[in-house]
Structure 1
Amino acid sequence: MSTSGPTATRPARPPAITRALLVCGVIAGPLFTLAWVVEGATRADYNPVRHPVSSLALGAYGWTQVANFLVAGILSVAFAVGLWRALRPWGGSTWGPVLIGAYGIGLMGAGIFPTDPVSGYPPGTPDQLVEYTSVPALLHDLFSIPVFVGLPIACFVFVRRFNRWGERGWAIYSALTGVVFTIGFVLASLAFGQVAGLLEIGGLLQRLTITVGWTWLLLLAVLLPRDRSLRS
Structure 2
Amino acid sequence: MNVLRTRLVLLAAGAAGPIAFVASYVVNGATQAGYSSWHNTISTLSLADHGWIQDTSFVLYGVLTLCFAEGLRRSSAVSAWGFALLALAGLGLLVIGTFRTDPILGFPPGQPGIVTPGGTIHSIGALVVFLAFPAAILVTAVRMSRGWAAFSSASGVLSLIAVALFFAAVSAANGHDGGGSPAGIHERLPTLFIGLWQIAFGLRVLARGAAPRSRRSVSPGSSPRHA
> TM-score when scaled to structure 2?
0.85
CA drift of 1:60 comes to 3.6
CA drift of 1:230 comes to 5.8
CA drift of 1:86 comes to 0.7
- Residue 112 of structure 1 corresponds to 98
- Residue 183 of structure 1 corresponds to 161
One-letter amino acid of the counterpart of residue 120, structure 1: G
- Please tell me whether the aligned partners of residues 119 and 194 of structure 1 are also in contact (alpha carbons under 8 angstroms): no
1:143 aligns with 2:125: yes
- Residue 24 of structure 2 corresponds to 35
- Residue 146 of structure 2 corresponds to 168
- Residue 8 of structure 1 corresponds to none
- Distance in 2, matches of 1:231 and 1:37, equals 42
- Residue 224 of structure 2 corresponds to none
The 1:69–1:209 alpha-carbon spacing in structure 2 relative to 1, beyond 3 Å, is: same
- Residue 153 of structure 1 corresponds to 135
* Within-5 A mapping of 1:23-172: 23-87=12-76, 92-126=78-112, 129=113, 133-162=115-144, 167-172=145-150
- Please tell me whether the aligned partners of residues 66 and 112 of structure 1 are also in contact (alpha carbons under 8 angstroms): yes
One-letter amino acid of the counterpart of residue 42, structure 1: T
* SS of corresponding position for 1:226: helix
CA drift of 1:198 comes to 9.1
CA drift of 1:142 comes to 1.4
- Please tell me whether the aligned partners of residues 32 and 48 of structure 2 are also in contact (alpha carbons under 8 angstroms): no
- Distance in 2, matches of 1:56 and 1:218, equals 24
Moved over 4 A (4+): 195-199, 227-231
One-letter amino acid of the counterpart of residue 67, structure 2: A
CA drift of 1:59 comes to 3.2
One-letter amino acid of the counterpart of residue 143, structure 1: G
5+ residue gaps in structure 2? 219-227
CA drift of 1:140 comes to 0.4
The 1:225–1:61 alpha-carbon spacing in structure 2 relative to 1, beyond 3 Å, is: closer
| Larger RCO of the pair (alpha carbons < 8 Å, separation 6+) | 1
Please report the RMSD computed on the Cα atoms of aligned residues, expressed in angstroms.
2.2
> TM-score when scaled to structure 1?
0.83
1:221 aligns with 2:202: yes
The 1:230–1:178 alpha-carbon spacing in structure 2 relative to 1, beyond 3 Å, is: farther
One-letter amino acid of the counterpart of residue 168, structure 1: R
* Within-5 A mapping of 1:8-23: 15-23=4-12
CA drift of 1:101 comes to 1.3
- Please tell me whether the aligned partners of residues 52 and 202 of structure 1 are also in contact (alpha carbons under 8 angstroms): yes
- Please tell me whether the aligned partners of residues 187 and 198 of structure 1 are also in contact (alpha carbons under 8 angstroms): no
- Please tell me whether the aligned partners of residues 85 and 132 of structure 2 are also in contact (alpha carbons under 8 angstroms): yes
C-alpha distance after superposition, 1:54-113 (max 9, x if no partner): 01011342111001111111111111111110117xxx4111122111111111111100
- Which of 168, 182, 186 does residue 205 from structure 1 map onto? 186
* SS of corresponding position for 2:14: helix
- Please tell me whether the aligned partners of residues 191 and 202 of structure 1 are also in contact (alpha carbons under 8 angstroms): yes
- Please tell me whether the aligned partners of residues 177 and 213 of structure 1 are also in contact (alpha carbons under 8 angstroms): yes
